[in-house]
A and B are shown apart, each in its own frame.
Chain A
Amino acid sequence: MTTFSIGALQVDRSGIPVIRGVDLEAKGGEISVLLGSNGAGKTTFLESLSGIIPVRSGFINLDGVELAKLRPGARAKTGLSHVEQGRTVFPAMTTEENLKVALHPDADLKEAYDLFPELLQRRNVEAGMLSGGEQQMVVIARSIVNRPRVILIDEMSSGLAPVIVSRLMRAVRQLADDGIAVVLVEQFAALALAIGNRAYVLRRGQIVYDGDCAALARDPAHLHRLYLGDAAA
C-alpha cells in the first residue's frame, strides 16, 4: 500500500517562513483532508510537495523514494500528481487531447470517461470552452490517466455550484477507494470531512490538529477554534 510521508517540512516564500515543521502522512485508499483559513499556507504546502517551489528543509517520501530534491516532472514520474487550484486545463486543446497528453502507457482513456461520463460527449470541445465544473473534471481525469499513487488536490470546489462540488467529492472518494492516496485541500470543510479519513488543520504554517475526520466533523466549534486560534477566545 502506498505511503506518502512528509516530515519536518520547512518552506520559505521570499525569505519568510511559510511552512514551519509540518509532518503529514497519507496512505493509499485514504483521503487526508488539509484544512485552514486563508493564508495558513495550504497552497504553499502542496506546491512544495509537487516541486513548484523549493523546500528549505525536511523530507518528502513516497514509498521509500525521497522527492524533495527532484524537479516537478521527476516527482510526477514517481507517481505524485498535483491538481492545482484554478482549473488548469490546456485551454486550446480539446478535452480528449487534454487527457491524451497525460496518458500513461498502462492507462486507458476509458478510465477517465468512466469516472466522469459527462466528459464523453464533450471530448471534441476545446477545454477553454467547457464550464467550470467540466474543466475541473478534465483536470482530475487528466491526473488519473497519469497513473498516480498520490494525488494532491487544491481547492477544487472554488467557484463551482454546490451540486457540482458534491459530484466532484464523490469522484474523489472513488479515487481513494481505488487505492490512491489523496491529499485534499478544501474550503468547504464539512463536505471534505464527510468524505475524508484523516484531517489536518494548518494554522500559520504549523499543524495544529492531526486526527480523525469524523471526530472533527462532529465538533464544529472545535474546528472553528482550530482555524482561528487565540482570536476565537
Chain B
Amino acid sequence: MDSLFTAAVAGLSAGGAYAILGVCAIFTYRLVAVVNFTGAAIGAAGTFAMVALFELGMPLLLAVLFGVAAGALAGLAIGLVMTTWFAGSNASTKAAVTAALLVGIIAVGLRLTGGQHPHYFPEIIPGSAFRLAGVEVTWAAVTTLVLSVAFTLLTEQFLARTRTGLQLRALSQRPMAAELIGIRVRLLALGVWAVTGGVTAFALMIIAPLRSPDFASLSLLVVPALAAALIGAFSSFRAALIGGVMIGLLEGSVSAIGPVSQYRGAVPFLVILAVLLWSQRGARWDEAR
C-alpha cells in the first residue's frame, strides 16, 4: 500500500504537466476552434531548444527562457499555417491538419535531435519540497501543480475580465462577426498559439527528465493532454485541470502494480475510452428505447 502511495505521489509532476497541457488544449479549442494534436510537439521543440543551448554551455535559466521563446515561436509557426490556409475550414479538417503536422514535426524533430541519441535533460527545478506521509514530494511536482492551478485561474479571469479576453470569446463564438466589428482576429489567434506554445514548452521542460528523452515520446504527450481536455469536455478548464492531475496519479499508481506496470502508458487511452463511453451513455439509452 505504501509503495502504491509513493508511486501515486511520483505521478504528481506528470499530472501537473498533463493538466497544463490539457488546459492549453482547451484554450486552443475554445478560442481558435482547433483540436490541436501538435500541442506537445510544439512544447517538445521548445524543450529540445533549451537542451541544445544548455549543452552548448548557456546558463540554465537563460536556456529555459530561450526554450520557452522557441516554444512560442513554434506555436506561432503552426498558428500561421492554420490562420493562413485553414481559417475557414471546419473543425474536423483543422484537427486532421494538426495530426498531419504532428507526424511532420516528429519526423523533423527526430532528425534534428539525433533520433534516439541520448541528451542530458537538466532538472530545472531540482530537489525535495517536503515529505507527505513519509513520501518525498519534489519541487518539480509542486511547481507543475501550482503552475497548472495558476494557469487555469489566470486563463478564466483573463477571459472574463479583460477586453482582450472579451474579444477572444467573441472570436471563438463567431469569427466573422468578430472581424466585422474590427477585432484583429488573426493577431489574437496567433497570440493564442504563441502563448500555448510557450506554456507547453515550460511544462514539458519540468517533466522531461522523468520521461524517455526523445522528441517523439515528448510529442506523444498530446495523448494525456487530450484525455485531460476530454474530461473537461473541451470546455471546462477546471475539469481539465483535475482530470490531468488524476491521470498523472493513476499512471503513477499503475506503475507500482507489478503485472500491469508496463502498461502505464496506456492509462490515457483508457481514460479517453472511458470518457467517450460515458459521454455517449445518453445516446445508447435513447437507442435502446
Contacts and interface: CB of A to CB of B under 8 A. Distances in A.
Given A90-B173, A90-B174, A76 B181 contact: yes
A97 B183 contact: no
Contacts of B78: none
Contacts of B185: 73
B182 A92 contact: no
Contacts of B181: 76, 81, 101-102, 142-143, 146
Given A73-B184, A93-B166, A97-B166, A88 B174 contact: yes
Given A71-B179, A72-B179, A84-B177, A93 B184 contact: no
Most A CB atoms within 10 A — which of B173, B174, B176, B181? Answer: B181
Main secondary structure of the interface of B (DSSP, over half): helix
B143 interface: no
Nearest to B181: A102
Contacts, number: 58
Interface in A32-60: 50, 52
A82 interface: yes
Q: Which interface class (under 10, 10 to 19, 20 to 34, 35 or more) fits B?
A: 10 to 19
A167 interface: no
Contacts of B169: 90, 92-93, 97, 101
Contacts of A84: 176-177, 180
A97 B170 CA distance: 9
Contact of A72 (B166, B170, B176): B176
B183 A73 contact: yes
Contacts of A93: 166, 169-170, 173
A91 interface: yes
B167 interface: yes
Interface string A141-159: 0110010000000000000
Interface residues of A, number: 22
B166 A101 contact: yes
Given A93-B166, A100-B166, A72 B173 contact: no
Contacts of B167: 101
Contacts of B163: 100-101
B275 to A, nearest CB: 23
Contact of A82 (B170, B173, B180, B183): B180
A77 interface: yes
8 contacts: A72-B176, A76-B179, A90-B178, A93-B169, A100-B163, A101-B163, A101-B167, A142-B181
Across chains A and B, which 5 residue pairs bring their CB atoms closest together, nearest first? Answer: A76-B182, A102-B181, A88-B177, A90-B173, A72-B179
Interface of A: 50, 52, 71-73, 76-77, 81-82, 84, 88, 90-93, 97, 100-102, 142-143, 146
